[in-house]
Amino acid sequence: MTGEAERRGIDWRVSDRAIDYEPAVDEMEARVAAIRAGTAPELVWLLEHPPLYTAGTSARGGDLLEPDRFPVHRTGRGGQYTYHGPGQRVGYVMLDLEQRGRDVRRHVHDLEAWLIGTLAAFGVKGERRPGRVGIWVARGAGREDKIAAIGVRVRRWVTYHGVSLNLDPDLEHFAGIVPCGIASEGLGVTSLHALGHTASMAELDAALAENFEAVFGVAATRSSPFDRLSMRTLPRA
């Protein structure tokens, strides 16, 4: 990363209410344009969405099992169908690959390492799997569950979209899709709470911040104020 990018720093934004999907995408696209223009620093935005499904560029219609259950949003990120909802931390990562090296594969690898390091902070061994996007947890007896998803888009060498990590979402909500197009026997979804790690969202955010610095080599230098996008209070059990 160049000295100019280092001086500029990275904004770290945490939204404490659920953000509707389309306003979040509009905000990302505006920020991507500003980063490319040199008028705004890079941004990591942590948030939650209300319950919804997103369809990536490789999504297959047959993998949407319950099309009327939650809103379905077509998106330009890579990947297939994904669920977002309360209890899941979404991390939208807007980084300038002009400054970091024009290597999208490296960016995805770094996002994976970020998630793996964050899970390790709670004693969970997250792992990559060849041919399967995201981060997986071995459960024994041949079973593996997905705990984090990755889907990125790059515009003029600025990244956006990013990752999602299951803290304590309603895992039954994943039943309305074939998550990431993977329907093999012995594969499922899980969360930190389902694995017995009852961390708070604030604790998860702290681990994400610490491991972001470890992987990407730069700390968030300031907290970006929450913009008043379309938002709603999260339902809690």
The gap between the terminal CA atoms of the chain, to the nearest Å, is 43
How many Å apart are CA 223 and CA 14, to the nearest integer?
A: 8
**Region label for 107, one of left (φ > 0), alpha (ψ between -120 and 50) or beta (otherwise):** alpha
Structure tokens at 56: 């990536």
Angle formed by the axes of helices 104-120 and 201-216, to 10°? 130
> 123, 124, 112, 136: which is closest to 187 by C-alpha?
136
Structure letter (DSSP) for residue 40: S
Residue 102 CB partners (closer than 8 Å, separation 6+): 157
Asked whether the beta carbons of 146 and 133 are under 8 A apart, the reply is no
The total of other beta-carbon atoms located within 10 Å of residue 89's CB is 22
Phi first, then psi, for residue 197 (nearest 5°) are -110, 95
User: Annotated catalytic residue: which of 44, 180, 204, 220?
Assistant: 180
Asked whether the beta carbons of 151 and 79 are under 8 A apart, the reply is yes
Of how many residues is the chain composed? Answer: 237
The verdict on whether 34 is a catalytic residue reads no
Which sequence positions are flagged as catalytic? Answer: 180
